[in-house]
Structure 1
Amino acid sequence: MYITKSKISIIGTGMVGSSIAYALMISGLTSRLVLVDIDEKRAQGEAMDLSHSASFIKPIKITAGDYADCKGSQIVIIAAGANQKPGETRLELTNRNVEVLNSIIKPLSKHCPDSIVLLVSNPVDILTYVTHKSGYFKNGRVIGSGTVLDTSRFRYLIGQHCQVDPRSVHAYVLGEHGDSEVLTWSSASIGGMKLLDFCRLAPGANENWKKDIDYKVRKAAYEIITRKGSTYYAIGMATKRIVEAILRNEKSVLTVSAMINNAYGISDVCLSLPTIVGSRGIIRTFEPKLSTEEITELQRSADTLKKYLKNL
């Protein structure tokens, strides 16, 4: 069922949070949007700026507020925290952003115990794990944006190489949303044809095309941060896509980050696998058939995350 009178709250109105707010506003998915930020004036300014487009969009009420104003939200999106600096990895943000997160989840749970909590701040897998382990929110209702954006980058680059609409590319990025992520070439396809067979027929195909795409997917954020300071438009759209799947109860398969227990020998860590997402949040996580090398890489990705978790 498509919920037309939904309420969504966004915690953190920096470039990422405001881009998410803008994407949600123009999508028409929600009728109420609440913006919360430690800098109250910033949240108020964003709410005012967005609201002034009222005559161009579907009816929506956008306000700035505090945690109490988030009550009744179907989804609360957490986009608060420090951004990556040039040359800094997502995992190097851990201690700073876990501290920010801990200041949010307890007061938020008081007013929104039944909401789906969608983590977007980095390192997203670590923050999703911390939120899940806090015990404040119901099982399956803590979701990280995971590798939804990485998967889109992967499909975009494959589409460019093969001269095919990226929406016709079926390929996933799994594991950490970060340097250890796993591009699953073995299961990728276009039009029912194995991707590797299809791409060999593409103009300009050569032995280095896979390495080139792998590098561009893995280093995309760094390249953008070097050029403009931060990434926010694409993650805004990726977050909108997750919200859409939840509000419309689409049961879409998305590579969101969630608690993993006994998948590929991996347990007690949050990372991305193909997952059915609907109105209840996480419905089911899949274990697609991967190559032996990809499984090893996925296990290594989980170990990388666990090392940082041990140091919290």
Structure 2
Amino acid sequence: MVHHPGRVSIIGAGTLGGTIAYSLLLANTAKEILLVDMSHNIVQGQVLDLAEVQSTTTIRAGTFKEAGQSTLVVLTADTPPNDKDKNRQQWLKRSRHLLLSIASSMSPVHSDIMILVTSDPVDLYVQSLQSYFPHVSPNRIFGLGTTMATDRLGVWLRDMMSTSATTLPAEIADVYCIGTQHSPVIAWQHAKVDGMPASALPNLIAQRDVCNKIVSNHRRYLICERKGKAWFGEASAATRLVNAIIKSSTTIAAAAYGATAAASAIAPAKNPVWVLSVNVPKYECCLSWPAVICDTGIKHLVDIPLSADEQAQISQVVESNIADFQASFDN
């Protein structure tokens, strides 16, 4: 199998896929972008439109087989719930059927591929892909997870402390929203504000209910009520993650070929932490958890302490995700 370094393939050429492609073109991150979709007209229309963007990155329509030989695949295709679904189980079955159809069309994939899932149900998709491609390390298959919820949490904490304290906190660190997109769990036990445990700050404790609403999908629901879909935040988060992975890979490759100190200094000092849908061995399932990323995907998971209440919430998430995975198989 041929591996094409620097190629990013986006499966699903709708609004989300097109927006991610547009952002990557502006950033000049990838060598080549492939748009892949079962609809020939949508792909051709998006490629013609995106080709107008001034970029050093080439973009073209691609096949599922070509996507399987990419450095990174971004999966945006999904099958949203509809009125024909009598229950959640039918939607889960349709989602799994779509995913397996895509995975089969991509096969065979090389072992160094990375797959980023943005589609819902993200945990089901990640776990199913890891099962379908056993020769690919689970660390190379992950989903966007609660990245956006964690971002919202960080913004809220900064705003909260800047208005309620006499001085701006020196540091807001280790702030993570774990669990799932629809059942986010704030890891207060691990979060720190100005070096102090966030769980010990009275003004934050008093605002827990407000914060829980902020990190939820409440804003997304409001957007969908008004315009049907919410794409831009998700596309931004996915693009930033792709940029972080590809640029990390490019920097390492440059160093291997004797890049100058000035060029290598462009790389970040350390690998960033993202809250992604990953396989968490101690729970034996996929859910959103802090992970350090690098040029090969997940470098390692971050070990975070949980309070008894947080652990109880995560146990419910694990139980629900395992039930969803099993339900997608049932006849």
**Fold shared by both chains (TM-score > 0.5):** yes
* CA distances 1:39-82 after superposition (whole Å, capped 9, x unpaired): 1111111111111021xxx4110111212332541101111012
Which segment is superposed worse, 119-128 or 234-243? 234-243
Does 1:172 pair with 2:176?
yes
Residues 24 and 240 in structure 1, CA contact (< 8 A), matched pair in contact too: yes
User: What TM-score do you get using the length of structure 1 for normalisation?
Assistant: 0.85
Q: Which residue of 1 aligns with 2:8?
A: 8
Shift of 1:196: 5.0
Distance 1:235 1:73, change over 3 A: same
State how 1:119-268 maps to structure 2 within 5 Å.
119-139=117-137, 140-163=139-162, 169-170=172-173, 171-178=175-182, 180-196=183-199, 200=203, 207=206, 209-218=207-216, 219-249=218-248, 251-262=271-282, 266-267=283-284
The aligned counterpart of 2:304 is 288
Structure-2 change in CA distance of 1:65 and 1:259 (3 Å): same
Q: Is the 8 A contact 1:7 1:75 kept in 2?
A: yes
Separation in 2 of the partners of 1:166 and 1:101?
45
**Cα 1:155–1:126, aligned 2, differ >3 Å: closer, same or farther?**
same
Give the direction of change, closer, same or farther, for the CA distance of 1:271–1:92 in structure 2 (3 Å limit). Answer: farther
SS of corresponding position for 2:108: helix
Partner of 1:44: 44
- Give 1:221's aligned amino acid: R
CA contact (8 A) 2:26 2:53 kept: no
Query: Judging changes above 3 Å, is the alpha-carbon distance between structure 1 residues 247 and 138 closer, same or farther for their aligned structure 2 residues?
Result: same
Total equivalences in the alignment: 294
> Would the alpha carbon gap of residues 227 and 84 (structure 1) be closer, same or farther in structure 2, given more than 3 Å must change?
farther
Partners of 1:156 and 1:167 lie apart in 2 by 15
Distance in 2, Cα, partners of 1:153 & 1:51 = 33
State yes or no: 1:24 paired with 2:21.
Answer: no
Q: What amino acid is aligned across from residue 296 of structure 1 in structure 2? A: A
Deviation at 1:194, TM superposition (A): 3.1
| CA distances 1:61-113 after superposition (whole Å, capped 9, x unpaired) | 01112123325411011110124679x99998422322211110122132555
Matched residue SS, 1:288: coil
Query: Structure 2: how far apart are the matches of 1:220 and 1:169?
Result: 23
Q: Are 1:9 and 1:77, in contact at CA under 8 Å, matched by a contact in 2?
A: yes
After superposing the two structures, state which structure 1 stretch, 237-246 or 9-18, moved more: 237-246
Deviates more, 1:102-111 or 1:230-239: 102-111
Contact 1:146 1:271 in 2 (8 A): yes
Q: Which deviates further from its counterpart, 164-173 or 271-280?
A: 164-173
Aligned to 1:74: 71
Find the counterpart in structure 2 of residue 103 from structure 1. Answer: 101
Gap regions ≥5 residues in structure 1: none
Q: Is the 8 A contact 1:146 1:272 kept in 2?
A: yes
- The TM-score, its normalising length taken from structure 2, stands at 0.80
Unaligned regions of 5+ residues in structure 2, if any? 249-269
Change in Cα spacing, 1:92 to 1:214, as seen in structure 2 (3 Å) is farther
RMSD of equivalent CA atoms:
2.8
